[in-house]
Structure 1
Amino acid sequence: MNMNSNQSERLQQYGWNDYWASCLKEEMIQSGLVPARIIAQFTNQYRIITPDGESAAEVSGKFQFHALARSDYPGVGDWVAVQPLPGEARAIIHAVLPRRSAMIRKAAGSVPEEQVIGANLDTLFIVNALNDDFNVRKIERYLITAWESGATPVVLLTKADLCEDTGSRIAAVAAAAPGAAVHAVSALQDEGKEALEPYMLPGRTLAVTGSSGVGKSTLLNWLAGDNLQQVQGIREQDARGRHTTTHRELFPLPCGAVMMDTPGMRELQLWESSIGRQEAFADIEEIAALCRFRDCTHDAEDGCAIKQAIEEGTLDARRLGNYKKTGRELAHQARKEQSISNRQKKSSNKRLTGRFSAKDRKSIEMD
């Protein structure tokens, strides 16, 4: 589509480039659809940025009919094709352009279902505070999801001004985050911002994620040089924060990048993260390859390289425990998902075979 300079600049401010232009199909353009990016989400309503500015949006009835899963719906950061409604500050979303990356977690509830936290992210800042809520095991869980997303994970240790031994904690996180950069920052003292500049390039999309009270909104305001998000203090009795951000939203930064803030999560529920788990625990995977037996459980077997590494002090036993725990969690989820899928398939077959004769049903069952 042809856009004037103001329209093009408006979208480029949120990451639009030649790659995304190539994803907009010709038939979409011929149908009068225009590109837009999801910049905020509120239940089933969206706020988008279009070539003509911000507007509200919702998905079309046809989109809802064809969506098979919750993750098929747009998420914050998605580029979409929309039909602006004449004379209204609203648009209808008809399609989601192919995602380059997506941070996904298990949605709340008993039914296994994936939830898109953010899409088309280049860098994912995993934020953990250097106060009494500091937790390496929690960082490992976020790293699993980060590596699985396709974005580059970077661990940010905030509130460095509250820690008397920053160096040892950086070392502990670095040992638990192979392949990921680790930085300590203090928004209060205005320290560490220069280390983040290589990630904050024009056109790049960043996201911050972590538990409540780790300083995500403060970090965003600090990097933006403006009070974009309200911030609250932490509870003195347990050093844990109160919820500040209640929804996901994209904010343009002065540097030309855009950043997404996310609501705090007490616990990140993993979703189909086998590759991400291998990346997050790459050191354990590498040591395990040296075990005498391929099916080693790393408990009491002779020739277990993992057990030897723990005894020699080169591997933290707590890290191994989290490796096993996340493995069991993902395996349990996979079994649960398969069980539900089998029941749905069985129910579908019953409805299908009820329409045929006994001879036809026997043929279907044999197939």
Structure 2
Amino acid sequence: MNERLMAWGWNESWAEAFEGVVHPGGRKLVPARVTAQFSHLYQVVTETGERHAEVTGKFEYEAESRGDFPAVGDWVAAELLDGEAKAVIHALLPRRSAMSRKVAGNVLDEQIIGANLDVVFLTSSLNEDWNVRRLERYLIVAREAGIRPVVLLTKADLCDDPQAYVDEAERAAPDVPVIAVSAVTDVGKEALAAYLQPGMTVAAAGSSGVGKSTLLNWLAGDALQEVQGIREDDARGRHTTTHRELFILPGGAVWLDTPGMRELQLWDSQSGWQETFADIEALAASCRFTDCRHESELGCAVRAALAEGTLDASRYANYRKTERELARIARKEQSVSKRQQKQAASRGGRHGAKRAELSKRDYLAAYDDE
């Protein structure tokens, strides 16, 4: 196998997935990994080096949603154009994992944060921006994707008692590793080694200002990404990273750096939600009535736990809030699906209905909307 591709995570399993991909015109296709995305233009790495790439018109026409387009971390089948430093993406290899969220705003569509990830560091800083309820939202998304989550608490040097935050995070995320680090004082790097093995693809996700780019530079031992300070009044960050991009760390792991997210709206995350709030789900299963709404019913195990203080009230509030959010998304999806079916029938095909809503170029142009 090609050593250049192996450095980016290529292995025998991916080689097997690629074997069945053929060019419709019989021309040669090569494997490539998407290492960065800039609106509708991709940066890919192939066995001969890096190139800029675009999807074919056929790919664009057949894509049903934004989530069907390549994302950073994806492996694709590409055609290298003779005499040009460009490539054309013909096919997407089946994803092993994909961390997604709903796009910002009122558009009902999926945005892929990163594809084919092994580990995601859910990153939060130990300052005024700390929010354990936001951490629970990130856990829902990571678990829905089937990616191993690790809670990473940055800027431990700014905190008098990091262990108190570690304890709070562990209560919100049982069985998930929680690690406090400081790039300034060089604390905690050894605890990350197990998650940064050669061939593994890892990502850092979190809001602006938590120190994701600083973390990358610290682990890489080099200034790979520009960093900025946080606002003094509320400890919120300014956007430094403006696009998703893969980097190879000295130890051989592939690192996905992502822009800070102003909001993390959930997307089709029912199983991730149930796993994140498994303790509350277990309590609900113990209620006297199977249709208990946990309000004033007799024998409600959830209300009893709240009264006894064994269930945190704000955690339960977040449980109900995210439950309503997922139900609202499901209703909207059903409504959109019915409308699209009617439009497709009236226009004589499903693609006419798709293009009546939003063009694919509009999808891609709005992709990085944090």
What is the TM-score when the length of structure 2 is the normalising length?
Answer: 0.91
The alignment status of 1:269 with 2:274, answered yes or no, reads: no
Instruction: Pick the aligned partner of 2:13 from 12, 16, 19.
Output: 19
1:27 CA drift (Å): 4.8
CA RMSD of aligned residues (A): 1.4
User: What secondary structure is seen at the aligned counterpart in 2 of 1:32?
Assistant: coil
On the 8 A contact 1:178/1:281 being kept in 2, the answer is no
| Separation of aligned partners in 2, 1:206 and 1:318 | 30
User: What secondary structure is seen at the aligned counterpart in 1 of 2:336?
Assistant: helix
Instruction: Pick the aligned partner of 1:156 from 143, 152, 166.
Output: 152
On the 8 A contact 1:39/1:47 being kept in 2, the answer is yes
The alignment status of 1:132 with 2:128, answered yes or no, reads: yes
On the 8 A contact 2:78/2:91 being kept in 1, the answer is yes
1:309 CA drift (Å): 1.4
Map 1:144-183 onto structure 2 (within 5 A): 144-183=140-179
Map 1:62-101 onto structure 2 (within 5 A): 62-101=58-97
Partner residue of 2:39? 43
1:240 CA drift (Å): 0.8
1:132 CA drift (Å): 0.5
On the 8 A contact 1:178/1:282 being kept in 2, the answer is no
Partner residue of 1:288? 284
1:276 CA drift (Å): 0.6
| Separation of aligned partners in 2, 1:262 and 1:133 | 18
1:108 CA drift (Å): 2.4
Instruction: Pick the aligned partner of 1:108 from 104, 107, 131.
Output: 104
User: What secondary structure is seen at the aligned counterpart in 2 of 1:148?
Assistant: helix
Partner residue of 1:364? none
| Separation of aligned partners in 2, 1:220 and 1:18 | 28
User: What secondary structure is seen at the aligned counterpart in 2 of 1:111?
Assistant: coil
The alignment status of 1:28 with 2:28, answered yes or no, reads: no
Partner residue of 2:218? 222
1:349 CA drift (Å): 2.9
The alignment status of 1:236 with 2:207, answered yes or no, reads: no
Which has the larger Rg?
Answer: 1
| Separation of aligned partners in 1, 2:135 and 2:235 | 17
| Separation of aligned partners in 1, 2:333 and 2:293 | 24
The alignment status of 1:303 with 2:317, answered yes or no, reads: no
Post-superposition CA distance 1:294-318 (Å, at most 9, x none): 1212222211111111222221010
| Separation of aligned partners in 1, 2:21 and 2:184 | 51
What is the TM-score when the length of structure 1 is the normalising length?
Answer: 0.92
Instruction: Pick the aligned partner of 1:326 from 322, 327, 340.
Output: 322
Post-superposition CA distance 1:235-256 (Å, at most 9, x none): 1110111111000000000111
Partner residue of 2:365? none
Amino acid at match of 2:187: E
| Separation of aligned partners in 1, 2:163 and 2:30 | 50
1:28 CA drift (Å): 2.5
On the 8 A contact 1:178/1:283 being kept in 2, the answer is no
Partner residue of 1:359? none
Instruction: Pick the aligned partner of 1:278 from 264, 270, 274.
Output: 274
| Separation of aligned partners in 2, 1:254 and 1:308 | 52
1:352 CA drift (Å): 4.8
Post-superposition CA distance 1:95-153 (Å, at most 9, x none): 00000000111112323101111000000100000001000000001111010111101
User: What secondary structure is seen at the aligned counterpart in 2 of 1:24?
Assistant: helix
Amino acid at match of 2:317: G
Amino acid at match of 2:227: V
Amino acid at match of 2:250: P
Amino acid at match of 1:104: S
| Separation of aligned partners in 1, 2:252 and 2:284 | 43
Post-superposition CA distance 1:159-217 (Å, at most 9, x none): 01111121111111111112311111111110001111110000000000000000110
Structure 1 residues without counterparts, runs of 5 or longer: 354-367
Structure 2 residues without counterparts, runs of 5 or longer: 350-370
Percent same amino acid at aligned positions?
Answer: 62
Amino acid at match of 1:64: E
1:344 CA drift (Å): 1.7
1:69 CA drift (Å): 1.1
User: What secondary structure is seen at the aligned counterpart in 1 of 2:22?
Assistant: helix
| Separation of aligned partners in 2, 1:321 and 1:26 | 48
On the 8 A contact 2:143/2:275 being kept in 1, the answer is yes
Q: Which has the higher mean CA deviation after the structures are superposed, 256-265 or 107-116?
A: 107-116
| Separation of aligned partners in 2, 1:72 and 1:27 | 17
Amino acid at match of 2:172: A
Alpha-carbon spacing, 1:168–1:62, altered in 2? closer, same or farther (3 Å): same
Q: Which has the higher mean CA deviation after the structures are superposed, 65-74 or 338-347?
A: 338-347
| Separation of aligned partners in 1, 2:345 and 2:303 | 49
Instruction: Pick the aligned partner of 1:253 from 242, 249, 256.
Output: 249
| Separation of aligned partners in 1, 2:159 and 2:291 | 42
Partner residue of 2:198? 202
